[in-house]
Structure 1
């Protein structure tokens, strides 16, 4: 392995879970040569305050996401399927609730 290959850094996305019951949140990025170094950098940068439950690092080139240009077709609602929306259903009256 050449000297250039050993020192090539990669971008890593950092996700932190602050406490039980909460989801991981993207908190930033670090650059490192391997996952262990990325985790160490992430720990040093993003866990100074508090005591997080867990920390993830993911290679930036391994994250797949929809771009803002794809927003409308990707996230468009299925208006042709009205049963997916609460306004499709008639509200129950007080008498109907007692019968159920």
Structure 2
């Protein structure tokens, strides 16, 4: 058969494999955020972003791009569309202490004269 069409063994309708490949070729790969844990610390740190068709390829590409000099011991990839973040433009209202709740900060308290080793 020509054109990449095949028919299943059970006589089911033909599948056009070329059309299926062309359909996926036009779809952009999803964006992945990459986090790397270096051998110097315990926390994963955002290293950058990349496009990949799936999680497995994203991990392999992240390893190749962000740990070329053996600086990583662990790589995480997260689909960018799965991340929910606060609005950086609203940081004042979002991160400031509520009025009247200064006691939540250590600067609110004064050091007592009679307390040692504080």
**TM-score interval (norm. to shorter):** 0.7 to 0.9
**Larger helix proportion of the pair:** 1
TM-score with structure 1 length normalisation?
A: 0.81
Specify every segment of 5 or more residues in structure 1 that has no aligned partner in the other structure, as ranges.
Answer: none
The partner residue of 1:47 within 67, 70, 92 is: 67
Specify every segment of 5 or more residues in structure 2 that has no aligned partner in the other structure, as ranges.
Answer: 1-16
**Which residue in the other structure is 2:48 paired with?**
28
TM-score with structure 2 length normalisation?
A: 0.70
CA RMSD of aligned residues (A): 2.2
Confirm or deny: 8 A CA contact 1:7 1:33 kept in the other structure.
no
Of the structure 1 ranges 17-26 and 45-54, higher mean CA displacement relative to structure 2 is found in 17-26
Of the structure 1 ranges 71-80 and 58-67, higher mean CA displacement relative to structure 2 is found in 71-80
**Which residue in the other structure is 2:96 paired with?**
76
Q: Distance between the aligned counterparts of 2:89 and 2:102, measured in 1? A: 26
Of the structure 1 ranges 47-56 and 19-28, higher mean CA displacement relative to structure 2 is found in 19-28
Q: Larger radius of gyration, structure 1 or 2?
A: 2
Size of the aligned set, in residue pairs, is 97
Show CA shifts across 1:3-44 (max 9, x none).
Answer: 223663111000000026431100001111100011111011
Which fold has the larger relative contact order, with Cα–Cα distance below 8 Å and residues 6 or more apart in sequence? 1
Runs ≥4 residues deviating over 6 A: none
